[in-house]
Amino acid sequence: MKKLKRVVIKIGSAVLSENGELSKERILNIAEMVSKFRKADIEVILVSSGAVSAGYTKVPLDKRVLANRQALASIGQSYLMSIYQKKFDRFNLNIAQILLIQADFDSRKRTENAQHTVDVLLANGVVPIINENDSVATEELAFGDNDQLSAHSTYYFGAELLIILSDIDGYYDKNPRVYSDAKIRPTVETIEDYELIQEVSPNNEFATGGIVTKLKSAKFLMDRDRAMFLSSGFNLKSVENFVLGGEYRSGTLFGKL
């Protein structure tokens, strides 16, 4: 495996919340891992979900109403960032918030602007934390899930690898929540069309994507010579071993590094 220079880490909503609260411990663990990566000269961009669920812990609005979800996103985004700030402070790392929507990647000028911002942040040791701008995005302008936002961020912001931290430890040959004999696939080199039209299967009330959006993201990256690693956000050892030691223990690697 070649030496990685820049990676994007996407953190799913299930990883960020526990029993209806933000999981500060998991955010701390992620901060520690980012600090290790930085010490190994690997630049890290985070894509973080969790704003709506964080907002809900403060003001429990009815999530079925779009305007309420958008309000929850704006309440939760600042709360979420305040927790990131506290945990990253422990490792003397500064963070920066970037809110994007799909349309930002449609305009070359806007993409370039965002690229320059990201480059300056990383050159100065700051960790950019990206999320979809859910409080204003309308359906036509939004990705609607952070898997695809993170895949675009990986490609356009010059990273070699997207790491998806989910509540599942890899990609299985069938849905492991339904089939107890499902087997994890350590590597995936091609994604067949039928895999992309499976039923949407997010695992919790705040998740939006399920496995299909992760596969679409993997395909987007593999088509562009980038790789994606799907792994558990509850135990970061396998990601750390993989990124820092080039050692594969669990998780699924899509494409080649």
Give CA–CA dist 223/74, Å, rounded.
34
Compute the least distance from the CB of residue 175 to ligand ADP, in Å: 4
In angstroms, what is the minimal distance from the CB of 30 to ligand ADP? 13
Secondary structure of residue 227 in the 3-state scheme = strand
How far is residue 64 from each of residues 61, 68, 77, 109, measured CA to CA in Å?
9, 8, 19, 35
Residue numbers at the binding site for ligand ADP (CB under 6 A): 12-14, 166-168, 171-172, 174-177, 201-204, 207, 209-211
Nearest of 158, 155, 164 to residue 213 by alpha carbon: 164
DSSP string, 137-165: --GGG--SSHHHHHHHHHHHTT-SEEEEE
Nearer residue to ligand ADP within complex by CB, 73 or 93: 73
Cβ-based nearer residue to ligand ADP, 107 or 198: 198
CB 196 to ligand ADP: min, Å: 12
CB nearer to ligand ADP: give 122 or 202.
202
Q: Which amino acid makes up residue 223?
A: D
Within 8 A by CB and 6+ apart from 246, the residues are 1
Which residue, 51 or 168, has its beta carbon nearer to ligand ADP? 168
101/164 with CB nearer ligand ADP: 164
**Least gap, CB of 185 to ligand ADP (angstroms):** 8
Length of the chain in residues, anyone?
A: 257
In the complex, minimum distance from the CB of residue 75 to ligand ADP, in angstroms, rounded to a whole number: 20
Nearest residue to ligand ADP, by Cβ distance, number only: 12
Of 22 and 211, nearer to ligand ADP (C-beta) is 211
Q: Report in angstroms the alpha-carbon separations of 188 from 27, 67, 161, 175, 228.
A: 29, 39, 14, 16, 10
Residue 18 Cβ vs ligand ADP, minimum distance, rounded to whole Å: 13
Between vectors from CA 174 to CA 168 and to CA 180, what angle results, nearest 5°?
Answer: 75
Q: Which is nearer to ligand ADP, 61 or 182 (CB)?
A: 182
Alpha carbons 151 and 162: distance in angstroms, whole number: 7
Q: Structure tokens of 28?
A: 């701390």
Instruction: Give the shortest CB-182-to-ligand ADP separation in angstroms.
Output: 7
